[in-house]
Structure 1
């Protein structure tokens, strides 16, 4: 009888997710950008180097890295100039070539959404103009960093909102910049908006389809970092981004997973994530995410709250953070704790 009652309760709560009576609002349905980078067909047909180029559809980041390691500097530059969108988005390509390729691609774009990203000096690790646009940017010297962090954002993030001036610490660039400022020398932070996020808090945000697609791309990112000889990262996952991280956890190769303002990770507890990474969770008392049912039934909802004691995550202090996007605000206990985790200080 108890199980039956719990099931009815879960169904009722899931219904409120769809109806929008428990914190979810309407949102438009999105189609995930998946598959290889734009320009792949021309890349695959290119025989200018007299050798077969690695197929972006199925080459692993390690295979891509080995291929580029065998090229001369002139050959590398030729590929950057001929195929900037492939080189700039292909995990396993040395990061310096990706910066160069994405700079070329951004300068060639006439979309005003990307104007600020094309400013000289920005280290753009990925730039995919398809759909709403996807971007990744590096803060710090990733090549020499002893500690690397990746920030994975939640809903309503794309090329146009990557570093908006409003609600700065709800953007990947704002979160990453703030974390880098708290850590500084010896650390680098990647702001990764490399997946199609939900728009609004409708059905996309209540289900796992976009997160599944995002998890594949996030896993390839971290595999690319490893192939390029960079340290295993700490991954910070905000809001719906924590759903992405929960699905990807098994294959991320991260030292730590830090979730904040999480609607759930599609796992009952830390053991259900099947990861060797240490798992941390932060949630402040004023975060509206508490109004969302932490259930998972009939494909709706994302499961248990990682900030609950029973989930088994290590708790990050967040009492002085405000709202859903205040965790990276300067001066907060949560930001200080995040920096300690990013630098490997907290054990």
Structure 2
């Protein structure tokens, strides 16, 4: 009997680690961009001082001479840091790709080791086997050898790529690790940001719309977009028609600069003016809201949620502030909602508002686990919110002036959401717009006066849908896609007009004459709290209202629990059949 030798290939090499944290590097790149933006502001401030005419004389000239150096130095550092930020971001992107390649190699090596172990066992067991079986074993050994060699080459390539990337980023950082090198590196660098804002369609140009802004933004290359984010974060972050991720990046720069400036002054014992104190409170509220989103997890995948700061202007509306935070990315999610709050909400209210839309996110996600969700709390208008010495705009809740102005802003925000979405990639979003309290009047004004690109409209706790809306279809949608929910003991909803009765802001959307789809919105604790309590419970977990809104956002219209409409008999006051129904706990799929 002849002996046949079958050579078992050597085991593939162990997979070497790919050190580094791509997420931490992206944070570092964002920090560099924030510093760059601050330096750009300093350069602009110094330049404004130089051009000022309010100060003359020898001291003024001496100051201007000194300011020239400050402005030039700040501008140089801003441009160089912006460039370095992009280089670090590119390195982080490459690092993430190299880590994915390593993960693939780990999986391939495991498979190769299993094949090698199986082949070894089969060879050892091959006694008195046929020539055909021997040939099969030889072919398996040869193929394994080729696959191991290919693996070893790919592993070597990965290690070389790691060394090359590390050497390149080290050289780039070392080239600007002193003031003199920064000055040399700035030679030839030109800031394109200001000129880009003069192009047709740019924010602030004549006739600019969300559509024209989006066309302008997409005409820019990545470096131009990054330059604008660094140099003009307030503009980029708060302009409709710019993608959510870019707005978020810009607004986080503005937020970080605000917190650093105001908290540092406070920590150093300096006093803040009333306006600065309000500014800081709104900045801190925005940061807390973002932190709260980051602490949440998707109820289906258990993955951390992404938060997006798609509006941030703490000085808007006389210091009340404007802000919007999204749970999930509305530019890519399949089911998108925008919630508009009402009276007593301003920029400092975003923490509670984000909790509300976070609850809505979870409910809608669980209502349709196969589809992605994004829920936005939009406080982008001057809601009636204060009684202080700086304004009595709460008194304006009795008319629609603020709702009218807010409706125009809301319509632009929603148009911008539609414009930035790449429907060829992500498909068309199912968009639900929800108005609560005075926010429902704002939504009504947006729909009747400007038209909104919504698939469903939901009005909750409404004091009236606006005087231009006599029927659900006046909102520009079929009545089957206009929804209304009001707890029977919600005193604010009792202000709306029912028939001929009411002093509110239009017809009650839960009235049978309005023609909307009324859903159940009672609370099991009905009647156990003060008169305003029911008005503030619509987004609470395991309530009828949140359950039904989640179904609407998820597109599950048939799962919505209908309620009988309010009506106004000629012989007496408004009648609400929901008063006689026993409220039920509705499982929204998660606990608070």
* TM-score bin (small chain): 0.7 to 0.9
Q: How much is the aligned-residue C-alpha RMSD, in angstroms?
A: 2.6
> In the TM superposition, what is the alpha-carbon distance from 1:279 to its structure 2 partner?
0.6
Gaps of 5+ in 2: 1-43, 49-192, 263-278, 295-306, 366-370, 387-392, 422-427, 527-533, 559-592
C-alpha distance in 1 between matches for 2:197 and 2:437: 45
Matched, 1:162 2:350: yes
Match of 1:238 in 2: 436
Query: Secondary structure in 1 aligned to 2:415?
Result: helix
Query: Secondary structure in 2 aligned to 1:115?
Result: helix
Name which structure has the greater RCO, CA cutoff 8 Å, separation 6+. 1
Match of 1:211 in 2: 403
Match of 2:471 in 1: 269
Bigger radius of gyration among the two: 2
> In the TM superposition, what is the alpha-carbon distance from 1:48 to its structure 2 partner?
6.0
1:210-229 CA distance string (max 9 Å, x none): 00110001000110011012
| 1:71 pairs with one of 217, 220, 232 | 220
C-alpha distance in 1 between matches for 2:356 and 2:492: 18
> In the TM superposition, what is the alpha-carbon distance from 1:319 to its structure 2 partner?
2.1
Query: Secondary structure in 1 aligned to 2:383?
Result: coil
Say if 1:211 and 1:247, in contact at 8 Å, map to a contact too: yes
Gaps of 5+ in 1: 1-38, 165-171
Say if 1:151 and 1:175, in contact at 8 Å, map to a contact too: no
In structure 2, relative to structure 1, the CA distance for the partners of 1:177 and 1:71 (3 Å cut) is same
In structure 2, relative to structure 1, the CA distance for the partners of 1:218 and 1:232 (3 Å cut) is farther
1:150-206 CA distance string (max 9 Å, x none): 001001111112224xxxxxxx32321110111236111011001000126953111
1:58-92 CA distance string (max 9 Å, x none): 31111111111111111000000111011001001
> In the TM superposition, what is the alpha-carbon distance from 1:143 to its structure 2 partner?
3.3
Say if 2:431 and 2:455, in contact at 8 Å, map to a contact too: yes
Moved more, 321-330 or 111-120: 111-120
In structure 2, relative to structure 1, the CA distance for the partners of 1:63 and 1:314 (3 Å cut) is same
Match of 1:249 in 2: 447
Query: Secondary structure in 1 aligned to 2:195?
Result: coil
1:243-270 CA distance string (max 9 Å, x none): 1111111411100110000001122221
> In the TM superposition, what is the alpha-carbon distance from 1:231 to its structure 2 partner?
1.9
Matched, 1:308 2:511: yes
Counterparts of residues 50-199 of structure 1 (less than 5 Å) = 51=199, 54-56=202-204, 58-109=207-258, 110=262, 111-113=279-281, 114-118=283-287, 122-129=307-314, 130=316, 131=318, 132-164=320-352, 172-184=353-365, 186-199=372-385
In structure 2, relative to structure 1, the CA distance for the partners of 1:288 and 1:73 (3 Å cut) is same
Q: TM-score, normalised to structure 1's length?
A: 0.78
C-alpha distance in 2 between matches for 1:49 and 1:312: 46
Looking at secondary structure, tell me which structure has more helix per residue: 2
Looking at secondary structure, tell me which structure has more strand per residue: 1
1:5-37 CA distance string (max 9 Å, x none): xxxxxxxxxxxxxxxxxxxxxxxxxxxxxxxxx
1:266-314 CA distance string (max 9 Å, x none): 22221333434711100112211244252799xx731211111121010
In structure 2, relative to structure 1, the CA distance for the partners of 1:51 and 1:259 (3 Å cut) is closer
Matched, 1:317 2:520: yes
Say if 2:440 and 2:462, in contact at 8 Å, map to a contact too: yes
Counterparts of residues 24-43 of structure 1 (less than 5 Å) = none
